[in-house]
Chain A
């Protein structure tokens, strides 16, 4: 049936149309908007109206103004830290999941993914009431006698953003690592064992290298999601946690400087594309070597 069906489908008079639609949709809904967006980054704004004359001014401003590059750098450092912490925390969890048998494995995995079903804003609100100076965390630490008075270490600063983003994004790190670990054939581990390797040796020389593609995609997922987030820094960052996303957001809201905002977005998009390519490449070369 399927053998007969395939050629008949491709020779149908509709097939060129279907093919056209398959190409047209991504072009219309992805490529064209991106192109418009890119072209905006070469416009400028005067007295609240957009001037449609091409200029490199926005990019020059990004590189020369003392405000943007330092914030950009700090934001990248922040997001790399978030990705690193997420990986460190997610790896043991994912590893533990793969050691479970049958139904338990997926039940626990589902439980870990449940937070993704919750509204993102509600989670930030919840985290914020946990972190406040009179929040749950400080109250608990003081009540347990660990702190003598509430600490402002995690109140409206970069640390708070780091912690919140890690909490929000950790499911995105667990999943790819879990999938990579699960794909490792058990026979390889048994072979390693048979050849006299200790469990630690097996982990370091078989499991870990084979799971690195998962780690790479987890890291790039988390990094990219953290980089694009402006709401978390806005809501828990206070006055010292100023990030690139917040600058970007302000260009579209209060400033009404879409062209400059577009240029800043292009800078961010280039970084994101770079991160994804890096994660992809790293993941694939490792995967291919097996």
Chain B
């Protein structure tokens, strides 16, 4: 999903620069966002409704957001979007301002799982709210409805010998350790103890023996699916991946595992150097509307926090991605797993 964003934002960045130049003198709201989070028609509606002009700059990677916000110590933008795993870093570096949720009436109307922000890990600190959830997607399981019966409910099906050589997994140590930890029932999949790490490693070696190949891009997984006997895909690209497969006629369905599905969650955040905080809050409240939430999911395929979508049912357990204890160690162990004969 990030790649697609990157690609699209290259095109969109040009547009953003143009907008900035044309309205540089007015006191416009300065928004930094992923492509798809501040579409031109929403911006137009927002200006029409509030009289506030908006300058949008699109970004293509987490590192780019950090460079832009940290580089200006939060002075260059009023409001921006980051994921839960990244947000804590901004709070620690004192680059963001707490948000007054009372100023966001639409936040009271969001889906139940996003209503109480203290239960959304990563968006609050010391009782203050720093991020307002906006867009997410789960990393669930795609299964071939012709070959996998009954429908699976847990990632443990990936280890089922019945599907030996018919499993596509994702080539990333960090995520693989996290989801396997969830499958093993560990409480905090992002902070594993030494013993847990060893147990997960052994489990992943077993997984490898059941796997046909590890893929990296959604296109790649799709091509392997079409030319081979594939029953199960660990769906790093979530809904986008399911829809693309269904589009080419594959008989597949998507499920979030009962032990909890890893999921990324992007939030709106107000920067330290915000010029007019009330305007920034108006923007966040505006994009939390049912209309924009629906359009967001329709256009990007991601889940939104206002209207139910295929990303997750109301009962599905989602585990928001967080920074892991030691990315280097996970990556080294992942190489060891891959090198194990």
Contacts and interface: CB of A to CB of B under 8 A. Distances in A.
Interface of A: 45, 48, 67, 70-71, 125, 128-129, 131-135, 152, 155-156, 234-235, 237-240, 242, 246-247, 250, 254-257
A256 B335 contact: no
B220 interface: yes
A237 B173 CA distance: 17
B213 A67 contact: no
B162 interface: no
Contact of B328 (A48, A70, A134, A237): A48
29 contacts: A45-B328, A67-B335, A67-B336, A70-B339, A71-B339, A131-B227, A132-B224, A132-B227, A132-B228, A133-B228, A134-B226, A134-B227, A152-B165, A155-B212, A155-B228, A156-B212, A234-B216, A238-B213, A239-B211, A239-B214, A240-B341, A247-B339, A250-B331, A254-B174, A254-B331, A255-B331, A256-B328, A256-B331, A257-B331
Give the most central of A48, A71, A239, A240: most B CB within 10 Å: A239
Nearest to B332: A255
Q: Is the interface of A mostly helix, strand, loop or mixed?
A: loop
Contacts of B336: 67
B335 A250 contact: yes
B208 interface: yes
A254 B172 contact: yes
Contacts of A242: 338-339
Please classify how large the interface on chain B is, using the bins under 10, 10 to 19, 20 to 34, 35 or more: 20 to 34
Contacts of A239: 208-209, 211-214, 338
Q: Is the interface of B mostly helix, strand, loop or mixed?
A: helix
B132 to A, nearest CB: 28
User: 4 closest Cβ contacts across the A-B interface?
Assistant: A132-B227, A255-B331, A238-B213, A133-B228
A129 B220 contact: no
A116 to B, nearest CB: 23
Interface string B219-235: 01001101111000000
Nearest to A235: B220
Contacts of B328: 45, 48, 255-257
A135 B227 contact: yes
A242 B341 CA distance: 9
Nearest to B214: A239
B245 to A, nearest CB: 15
Nearest to A133: B228
